[in-house]
Amino acid sequence: MVTLTRNPALVESSFATQTQCDHDFAVDTVIGQMRADVSYPFTLDIFAEIANYSPFHFARLFRQSIGVPPGEFLAALRFERAKQLILRTDASITDICFDVGFSSLGTFSARFKHLVGIGPAELRAMPEQLASRLPDLGPCQGRPSTGTGFVVTGNVTAPMPCAGHLFIGLFPTAIPQSAPVAGIVTAGPGPFVLHDVPVGTWRLLAALFPLGNDPLTHLLPGDSLRVGADPWPVVVSPDVDPRPLHVELRRPSPTDPPILSALAPKVLNI
């Protein structure tokens, strides 16, 4: 008679894998609901009910998985939708404010300018201004170094050769919003250097936009966009030895936070 015994390590590994799959499915499901109707008055309790977790547990696993709280992710989706409506429709800014779930035009406009970097009316006028400036977007461009702060180096790679306008920046959160604390635009994947990086804990994010002079490809990137992020926070401090940073470009996924920052206007100082 043969007695079969389970390897405890294999059982534990299998359980951990299944648990992670359950967590990923819960987060994916909630983000799918967010994207289906960004104007819906979601709450953490509603998210938790959709995911079948307690509010505290879901908030924690969402942040662990995505890098930001669920409410912050939803707000980013709302402003992404607002950008689309501003640039692709003639709807008034007031109507757009209400369409994406805000009840105060003043609050909407202030937060929009903070997160995107320019106001709603400025964004609507941006395609015409940007069209004449995109040819000036050189192969390696950024703010002139002031000689202050720290230097951060790294490398951006891609599974296949690609060229375009590659924006690389350090942001306070996992959402590319407002202006990066340090950034550069290059002609494509490869080594990079960021100057004048302030002390703090940042997230390294990169986005490759296709070549061309169509302003909407930079203001509303579509399927041709490639994105990537260093998987760990970037700690900049006199007491911390710099580690090699690396970003692998890939196609965007539904769980990626939207790019809110108007990157090209920031680099071109429009």
Determine whether domain 135-267 maps to CATH 3.90.660. Answer: no
Summary mean pLDDT of the chain:
87
Q: Rounded to the nearest 5 degrees, what angle is found at the Cα of 259, between the Cα atoms of 71 and 121?
A: 95
- Say whether 239 sits in a helix, a strand or coil: coil
Inter-axis angle of helices 105-116 and 120-131, nearest 10: 40
Q: What is the pLDDT of residues 158-167, one digit of tens each?
A: 988 888 889 9
**66-76 average pLDDT score:** 95
Among 30, 66, 24, smallest CA distance to 45 is for: 30
Spatial distance between the Cα atoms of 211 and 218, rounded to a whole number of angstroms:
10
> What distance lies between CA 150 and its chain's CA centroid?
23
Over the range 156-184, which residues count as b (16 or more CB within 10 Å of their CB) and which as e? bebeeeeebbbbbbbbebbbbbbebbbbb
Q: What is the pLDDT of residues 186-236, one digit of tens each?
A: 888 999 999 999 999 999 999 998 877 788 888 887 778 999 999 999 999
Among 226, 212, 215, smallest CA distance to 256 is for: 226
Contact between 120 and 109 (Cβ < 8 Å): yes
**28-54 average pLDDT score:** 96
Q: What is the pLDDT of residues 98-137, one digit of tens each?
A: 999 999 999 999 999 999 989 999 999 999 888 877 776 6
**53-73 average pLDDT score:** 95
